[in-house]
Amino acid sequence: MRDSQKHRVYQSEWATKRAEDDLGSLEAVTAWVTKITRQSWFKRRWPGHTAVKRGCHWVPRWSISRGRAGSYAHGSCFSLVLPPWAWNKMVVLHEMAHGLSPTQLGFGKGESASHGRAFCRVFLELVRFAVGREVEVLLKGNFKRFRVKYVRVGQYRPSPQTIAAGIEALRNLRTAAAKRQADRTSQEAQEGV
């Protein structure tokens, strides 16, 4: 499916960005994502993506890394790759929405566009709860201005079975990624011998 809304979503996001939303460093981004993923509303909505405790620190389930300057930001179920220009709350939420949208987790209603209606709904939810209602209203206004379509609240409410299937799909993806990493590590060890 063609990602026909991509440019309009970017226009809406850039029109909504505020200077006070800059986070300044990758450490600040990681702390902010951890804070979001530890909140009860987030745990209820996306139980498979909540922060986990490692030692005495809470960390997000996403691997958050620095992208090269001038490169694209990227978000998925497992990782957020954010170059310095993307250390802004709106951009971080945009990339988080890619990893949380139903299409990414394999149970979108036939929609495969990366910036489709379901993605935009998730993006709006994240903005509302993480940045505030006034910014959500501003983003919705920009969606209207740039003709971005999104799933309205109540139009798509996943069933508990669908949520469970999404969590299982996420577990399978994480297991496969861990296996690939282990295979790479063992292959590098064999080549080094």
Instruction: Write out pLDDT tens, residues 11-27.
Output: 999 899 888 889 999 99
Instruction: Tell me if 92 is assigned to some domain.
Output: yes
Residue 149 lies inside a defined structural domain of this protein: yes
Q: Is residue 79 part of a domain?
A: yes
42-50, Cβ contacts within 8 angstroms, sequence gap of 24 or more: 42/129, 45/125, 46/100, 47/163, 47/167, 48/166, 48/167, 48/170, 48/171, 49/99, 49/100, 49/170
Residue positions counted in the chain: 193
The secondary element (H helix, E strand) that includes residue 80 is strand 79-82
The set of residues, in sequence order, having a beta carbon less than 8 Å from that of 129 and lying 6+ positions away, is 36, 39, 41, 42
In a domain, 127, yes or no: yes
Q: What is the pLDDT confidence band of residue 132, given thresholds at 50, 70 and 90? A: very high
pLDDT at 152: 75
Structural domain includes residue 182: yes
- Asked if residue 62 belongs to a domain, the reply is yes
Asked if residue 1 belongs to a domain, the reply is: no
- Confidence class for position 5, pLDDT limits 50, 70, 90: confident
Q: CA distances (Å), 65 to each of 82, 171, 174, in order?
A: 6, 21, 17
Give SS3 for 104. Answer: coil
Using 50, 70 and 90 to split pLDDT, how confident is the model at 107? Answer: very low
Name the domain count of the chain. Answer: 1
Range of the domain at 166: 6-192
Q: What is the pLDDT of residue 43?
A: 86
Please give the average per-residue pLDDT across 114-127, as a whole number.
Answer: 89
Give the rounded distance of the alpha carbon of 172 from its chain centre.
Answer: 18
121 close to 104: Cβ distance less than 8 angstroms: no
Q: Is 104 a residue whose pLDDT tops 60?
A: no
Answer yes or no: is 128 within a domain.
yes
Q: Is the pLDDT of residue 131 over 60?
A: yes
- Residue 64 scores a pLDDT above 50: yes
